[in-house]
Structure 1
Amino acid sequence: MTSHSPHLVVFTGAGISAESGIQTFRASDGLWADHAIEDVATPQAWRRDPERVLRFYDERRTQVRRARPNAAHQALASLEKQGFRVSVVTQNIDDLHERAGSRDVLHLHGEILKARSSVDERMRYPLPRGGIKLGDICDKGSQLRPDVVWFGEPVPRYVEACEIVEQADLLLVVGTSLAVMPAAALLERAPLDAEVILVDPAAERLAPPGVARLPQPAGRGVTELVRHWSREGRLWLPETLLGA
């Protein structure tokens, strides 16, 4: 397929990573059940108790390193290997899409396996092992912090994400409650003639009007769609599987 092939844009949320064992934030047994947002995930928390914030994200980092890509991550990467044009926009801060083999991945909320400067968000440093400690500094002499977007901070790559979604011929939304703004508003940026599919166990309840619904876990639903597209050699809306 050429660069003029139909463009599949995939927008993923915590549900796709949950199947790899990464604890979500908003579930009843999620991270916020044990940690108050204002204590670990805001600029104010960072100023008040940076050591606590660093410890929280070190624990998350360990969890991500132990996790492995699941069937949904692998299915999306396999489409790209077959020559389909696939772009991934993710709310997730893990690297499971990349480890599965996806090459065009935009992280809206940052990457937990990177550190960044506290004074210059453009200065990022990979964390192949270990974590961040007080006293670890950037090249400008400022304390390193997790490369994640905290509550109350702007989403620096949102405009770029909008531009990608605006190019979609088909928008596949996987494992997101569509509750986190501004990310949830990305669906409104899809072209009027683009099909939109939501894969989520709660899809019947979550899907906005006009969005096709596949109420299945990510691993099952995405794999099923990819199998159809691979067999046909094209992107299409399998109406026998979906309700709108």
Structure 2
Amino acid sequence: MTLSDFSSHLEKAARLILHATHTTAFTGAGISVESGIPPFRGREGLWSRYDPGCLDLDAFYRDPTQTWTLIKEIFYDFFGRAKPNPGHISLAEMEKAGYLQAVITQNIDSLHHQAGSRNIIEFHGTSGRLKCTRCGKVIPFEPSYLKQLPPLCRSCGGILKPDFIFFGEAIPYKAYDASIEEARIADVFLIIGTTGEVVPASSVPWQAKTHGAAIIEINPEPSAYTHAITDIYLQGKAGEILPDLIQSIEVIS
């Protein structure tokens, strides 16, 4: 694609968003890779370094201390150092300006919250909360909980679990229902940094297309969506393209 073609596609995307009634963003691991968080899959993914069985629900209950040791290392010591990048920040700015109504994210790193987005649907849950396996209480994560592994509920003494889904757990029904509703009502749907391979999350953009949404995709490489449902493909990193998209919206508005 030539620079002229890219500029034309960027302007078309900006005009669609500017005139949309409801725009929803759908983000995957790619947007957080730009913050230094590796994806789970692929040659450089987390599962090339760690056994994915560490996130198996049965393994957690069999040996919560061992499981929590890995969870702490991966999701709090390592991921905890990550900061929002210009892609996350741009989505928060778009929401504040009224150009974006919601973010559906497959990521559990809470970077959209840190960037300032407000209407966030966390499809797979988040590391930013803990849930008691005994009383069900959900609490904000605090580093003090990791002084003892496994961390214990201060209300009932039960073992705490990160409030994201493990292998063997169902998608939280509220997050699933809210995502499908966003797909139903959006007239513009942004796909950002996801390959479209993780089910059932991968079905959400298809739902949006079925209900008539224009699909704008931002990805470094073509995905399962690109040649199937995408209307405008902007090839590149979210942290580079989203700021340009905002600028284009402001120029034509």
- Identify the TM-score tier after normalising by the shorter chain: 0.7 to 0.9
TM-superposed deviation, 1:105:
0.7
Q: SS of the counterpart of 2:42? A: coil
Residue 205 of structure 1: how far off its partner (Å): 6.2
CA distance in 2, matches of 1:41, 1:110: 13
Query: Does residue 248 of structure 2 align to residue 232 of structure 1?
Result: no
The answer to whether the aligner puts 1:54 opposite 2:72 as a matched pair is no
Question: How many residue pairs are counted as aligned between the two chains?
Answer: 228
Whole-Å separation in 1 of the counterparts to 2:171 and 2:135: 15
1:13 alignment partner in structure 2:
28
Does residue 125 in structure 1 map to residue 139 in structure 2?
yes
Q: Which moved more, 1:90-99 or 1:80-89?
A: 80-89
Task: Quote the offset at 1:210 in angstroms.
Answer: 3.1
Q: Specify which of 56, 63, 79 is matched with residue 42 of structure 1.
A: 56
Structure 1 unaligned blocks of 5 or more: 234-244
Most deviating of 70-79 and 202-211: 202-211
Q: Could you state the TM-score of these two structures normalised by the residue count of structure 1?
A: 0.85
Q: Which AA in structure 2 matches 1:217?
A: K
Deviations 1:93-118 (Å, cap 9, x if unpaired)?
11111111111111111111211021
CA distance in 2, matches of 1:13, 1:230: 26
Q: Percent identity?
A: 32
Bigger Cα displacement from structure 2, 130-139 vs 196-205: 130-139
In the alignment, structure 1 residue 160 sits paired with structure 2 residue 178: yes
| Aligned: 1:95 with 2:110 | yes
Partner Cα separation in structure 1 for residue 20 and residue 233 of structure 2: 24
Residues 1:136 and 2:152 are matched in the alignment:
yes
Contact 1:79/1:230 (<8 A) preserved: no
Contact 1:57–1:112 under 8 Å retained in 2:
no
Structure 1's 166 and 54: CA in aligned 2 closer, same or farther, altered over 3 A? same
Instruction: State yes or no: 1:185 paired with 2:168.
Output: no
How big is the alpha-carbon RMSD for the aligned residues of Structure 1 and Structure 2?
2.1
SS in structure 1 at match of 2:101: strand
Amino acid at match of 2:212: D
What is the CA–CA distance in structure 2 between the aligned matches of 1:231 and 1:7, rounded to whole Å?
Answer: 20
Please identify which structure carries the higher helix content: 2
Task: Quote the residue 2:5 is aligned against.
Answer: none
Structure 1 contact 88–106 (Cα < 8 Å) conserved: yes
Q: Is the 8 A contact 2:145 2:152 kept in 1?
A: no
Distance 1:21 1:91 in 2: 16
What residue ranges of structure 2 are gaps of 5+ in the alignment?
1-18
- Correspondence 1:217 to 2:217: no
CA contact (8 A) 1:76 1:226 kept: no
Q: CA deviation at 1:164?
A: 1.7
SS in structure 2 of the partner of residue 171 of structure 1: strand
